[in-house]
Homo-oligomer: A and B are copies of this chain.
Amino acid sequence: MNTEKHIKTLLIKKPLKLDCGKIINNFPIAYETYGSLNEKKDNAILVFHALTGDQFVTGLNPVTNKDGWWSYAVGPNKSIDTNKYFVICSNVIGGCLGSFGPSHKDAETQKIFGINFPVITINDMVNAQYNLLEHFGIDKLFSIVGGSMGGMQVLQFISNFPDKAKTVIPIACTSSHSAQNIAFNELGRQAITADSNWNEGNYNLQNTIPNKGLAVARMAAHITYLSKKGLQEKFGRKLQEREDLKFGFDADFQIESYLRYQGSVFVDRFDANSYLYITRAMDYFDLAKQFNGNLSDAFKETKAKFFVISFTSDWLYPTQENKDIVIALNSIGANVGFVEIDSDKGHDSFLLDVPEFLSALKNFLDKSYTATK
Contact = CB atoms under 8 A, between A and B. Distances in A.
30 contacts: A19-B247, A115-B249, A119-B248, A119-B249, A177-B237, A178-B231, A178-B232, A178-B236, A178-B237, A179-B231, A179-B253, A179-B255, A180-B231, A182-B255, A183-B223, A184-B223, A186-B253, A186-B259, A187-B219, A187-B220, A189-B249, A190-B259, A191-B191, A191-B194, A194-B213, A194-B215, A216-B216, A228-B315, A249-B276, A315-B315
A237 B176 CA distance: 9
Interface string A202-243: 000000000011011001100100101001101111000000
Nearest to A195: B194
A286 interface: yes
Nearest to A277: B249
Contact of A179 (B119, B178, B235): B235
A245 interface: yes
Chain A at the B interface: SS class: helix
Given A187-B259, A194-B216, A247 B118 contact: yes
Contacts of A252: 283
A190 B219 contact: yes
Interface of A: 19-21, 115, 118-119, 176-180, 182-184, 186-187, 189-191, 193-196, 212-213, 215-216, 219-220, 223, 226, 228, 231-232, 234-237, 245, 247-249, 251-253, 255-256, 259-260, 263, 276, 280, 283-284, 286, 289, 315, 318
Contacts of A235: 179
Nearest to A276: B249
Contacts of A260: 186, 190
A280 B118 CA distance: 41
What number of copies of this chain does the assembly contain? 2
A191 B216 contact: yes
Contacts of A259: 183, 186-187, 190
A326 B286 CA distance: 43
A323 to B, nearest CB: 15
Nearest to A223: B183
Nearest to A115: B249
Contacts of A20: 247
Contacts of A191: 191, 194, 216
B231 A183 contact: yes
Contacts of A289: 237
A237 B179 contact: yes
